Structure 1
Amino acid sequence: MTDLSSVARRALPLLDLTDLSDGCTDAAIDALCARAETPVGNVAAVCVFPAFVARAKKTLAGTGIAVATVVNFPAGGDDTVAVEAETDKALADGADEIDLVMPYRAFLAGRPGFAETQIVRVKRRLGAAHKLKVILETGRLVEPAAIRAASDLALGAGADFIKTSTGKVDVNATPAAAEIMLTAIRDSGRPAGFKAAGGIRTAADAAVYLDLADRILGPDWASARTFRFGASGLLDDLLAQLGHGAAAKPSAY
């Protein structure tokens, strides 16, 4: 039987605590940043819309918590110049990590070179201190072969992490997609990370993904440098498993 308190202790510092809700406000960002510092340790990062990067950066100064933001979100569009400009503004405002939605529609339409070029061009704008997470939107890629090809493409284009989902479609993170992506990271032979996002609400959910990472990449692989959970509600259940609140209801895949 899985020891959920051990899972919670392991998962909490891997969390990108997220608010990408429609109608997000300054007050919501302040609350998010306050939640990111918990009685049992800090999360890895907060993930917010670009408009809130500067506020989050100022609020979290000195905490060691990174500020992540999203670009080309959520549609994964084709306007690379606009995506570059969005990235530049986010970096100027203090973003530490950029979560880029790969232009997955172009990829699915037989234009992988376009998708690769956009990733390369965004990656070039990031200095060594900034991480690029490429969102594949696996729920739209659907087929295992497409998920593997997109993973290989993003890793080859310089992604520091590959991420499952935006959380804005009907199918987001799944263990099946995660297994393909983690295997691609292993096979790439380069230091890259994995982020599971969308629909991960409980410590039991988190355990599924950590177990996959342990099996495919080894029990010492997953750390904040290589593994993240993107979620808004997961923190509450992790804290509950550690004696700080009420546990969430189980999820079903």
Structure 2
Amino acid sequence: AEEVTEAINDIKKKYSMDEQTLTASLKKEGFTLDEYKKKLSEQIILSRVVSQEVRNKIVVSDAEIAKYIEKSKDTLITDDAYRIRQMFFKKPQKPSDRKTAEEKAGTVYQQIKAGEDFASLAQKHSEDPSGKAGGDLGFIKKGQMAKEFTDVLSQMKAGDISQPFWTDMGLHIIKLEEKIEKQSEAAIKDSAKNKLIEQRFSEKYKHWLRELRETAYIEIRL
């Protein structure tokens, strides 16, 4: 009964009708409001049954799952991923200037530790295009990072800020905003399988729904 009431309310909203106008429109189609509600109730039950039947008949092979995973590996969580902010200082051309770079990074690091906003400081001091976005690098998968980054991140939790550290590119200070742990192989396969099932179900269900609409009970033909 609740689902029927919701369906009636959706129809009223869709066609900007009150109950009196709806009743009059139904009368033109040869229905009373109670008859229409009964038909809606029957179709809701039928829809639920067909939904389950369609879903149960969908089969997805291991080969299809593997293909989907390969195609969607950038969106599936196949590796630990980190959302980080970075403060970057370019590597000096002269080794003798390394100390100056370390002092500069150290000063900024102390400002962060004193409570200044990381993003604001990155906009002012970071020698990297991400500085304009407050140092935000977005989510990066573990396998896409330099070893120095993963070593530092392995000791951090969300909200932590690293001390300055060197890579071949220069000096970095990073803030770990969020970590998403990789899914197990079984979880990745389940996720891929469910997405494939939903895609196929949607196609088959829409086809069935189009056929059902031809009975003229799903929506009022105005």
- TM-score band (shorter)? under 0.3
Greater C-alpha radius of gyration: 2
Pick 1 or 2: higher relative contact order, CA cutoff 8 A, min separation 6.
Answer: 2
TM-score, structure 1 as length reference = 0.21
More helix by share: 2
TM-score, structure 2 as length reference = 0.23
